[in-house]
Amino acid sequence: ARSRQWHFVVPSLDGDGLTKGSRVQALDLGWKVPHGTPMKPQIRHGGPFDDQKPGTSGLRKPTRTFCQPGYLEIFLQAIFEADPPGPAATLVVGGDGRHFAREAAVTACRMAFANGFQRVVVGQGGLLSTPAASALIRSREAHGGIILSASHNPGGPEGDFGVKYNTRGGGPAAPAVTDAIYQRTRELERWLTRDDIPVDLDAVGRTAFGDVVLQVVDPVTDWLELMQTQFDFDAIRELLSRPGFRMRFDAMNAAAGPYAHALFERCLGAPEGTVMRGVPLEDFGGIHPDPHPDGLVDLIATTRETQPVDFAAASDGDGDRNMILGPGVVVSPGDSLAILAAHADKIPAFRGRGLRGVARSLPTSRAVDRVARREGFDLYETPTGWKFFTSLLDSGRISLCGEESFGTGSDHIREKDGLWAVLFWLNLMAVTGQGVRGLVDAHWGRYGRDLFQRQDYEGLDLEIATALMDRLKASLEALRGITAGPFSVLKAESFCYTDPVDGSRALDQGVSITLDPDARITLRLSGTGTDGATLRVYLESFIPS
């Protein structure tokens, strides 16, 4: 096993399923799909595939696995059949610009028309950050969205590719939907397409093909308009224009680059050069597009110069994660969520309405729990996966949520939003007059400090990793009451979750070991890797103020 702290995923170089054959034929049939839309879909044959079970956030595989004949198409067809469109339905399509994303976007558009969608809204060049895609699904009242991204996984021909399906409202598909998709992938031997439709991803505008419409949109516009309803842009402009104030944002050659250039340098007046690595590249310039200290050496160096930048931040491949830095400090994800929750009333998004509640994933540090207890709002602990937050957001139970892998979001969309979190920090600095270090120190002084570390063990044999977790779960009862050094085990359990909205259950979502004095160990197998299994171990310990 390979071991890393924080968060790092090694790309697969041994993609499976490459020997599976697929017949590819085309039959032109003149017919009408439901809702009376004149179509000439082509039926193509291939599949089925038995390795297309979605993980924590969609289906992720080595890029060359997705490039097999019919592999992408069977998964998309399964999506359209598991959640079929209604009359005059709209589909949003876009991705992070990694290798194969452009071709996949064209395929998704043509298949959507063949499967009954009347309108497809796609980002120019096939580009849409994950939060922007969620915002478009909501603003266009779309049936759903296809997001072509493997998030923070490496890109390029030898990297990874992914497809995620978001449903009405903009959130990731619920487990019942992804289970239905997986079942269909194991049965399908054909897909529908409209290869006769010339999909031009570069020309912004609306093009009709009979009764169906392709609308290519600027990927930034709608999202940027939404951000201006969330934050005090005048206050942030004033902060960025203060003499001597310096900021850097590292887009890591990924999807957040165009959004950051438009937001910080053009809209908020930051100097040109504020955004580093801001041009999306198909292989992310050979770097790992993950907000991890190991991949952000140049950005971290700007906080250690003789005249360090006052504020630095980074995002990931599809723009939904964030890392916040200041001189001498990298803010942990749990602390960031807790600090934002403690100061929510200071930004327009929450001013006058406060927080209905906050949710965090099981492995995320309990820093926000302490804020919730003192400030009197509800706190929910969920399994890892943004889909579990979506149910709470849709029901109005929470306004803010976050997870330990640098994901933060709110009820403005149904996804995590990296630049939204960066704007929150800037807005907070503008109105409090404090820097990153000052806000962190003040928070620890009021609520105490939760030390936190994550250790990843990657490339494990899946059977061995599963057996390890099974043995651990079988020994939980025996762990209670034992001591190790200064700690004793108060509770050891396999985390199971009951959704308070619909009563659905998610079993065995990780092992949680609670210690005395106030500390915790959490272990879980990750669902986002593509090379064997990844075991994540989370360690946390509380230091009172």
Tokens 């890109």 locate to: 155
- Asked if 72 contacts 258 with a C-beta cutoff of 8 angstroms, the reply is no
Cα–Cα–Cα angle for 184, 11, 64, rounded to 5 degrees: 50
As a whole number of angstroms, the distance between CA 133 and CA 262 comes to 17
Q: CB–CB of 54/182 below 8 Å?
A: yes
Spatial separation of the C-alpha atoms in residues 484 and 464, rounded to whole Å: 26
Positive or negative, the CA dihedral 213, 216, 217, 219 is positive
CB of 367 closer than 8 Å to CB of 447: yes
CA-based nearest residue to 438, from 326, 330, 524:
326
Dihedral in degrees, nearest 10, Cα atoms 25, 29, 31, 33: 10
Whether 3 is a known active-site residue: answer no
Q: Helix/strand/coil (H, E, C) string of 80-91?
A: HHHCCCCCCCEE
190-193 β-sheet, strand order: 26-28, 42-45, 190-193
The active-site residue, picked from 151, 365, 399, 526, is 151
CA distance 327 to 396: 37
Torsional sign, CA 427, 432, 436, 442: negative
- Report phi then psi at 307, rounded to 5: -115, 85
Whole-number Cα distances in Å, 440 to 79, 343, 345: 44, 12, 17
Tokens 């438009």, residue located = 262
Distance of CA 197 to the CA centre of its chain: 31
Phi, psi of 102, rounded to the nearest 5 degrees? -65, -50
CA atoms within 13 A of residue 361's CA, in its CB half-sphere: 27
Separation CA 418–CA 264 (nearest Å) = 14
Per DSSP, what are the bridge partners of residue 275? 249
- Cα–Cα distance measured from residue 371 to residue 449, given in angstroms and rounded to the nearest whole number: 11
Distance CA 282, CA 12 (A): 17
Residues 6 or more apart from 422 whose CB is under 8 A from it?
A: 249, 313, 315, 322, 324
User: What count of residues does the chain have?
Assistant: 545
Residue located via tokens 């599963």: 466
Active site residues: 151
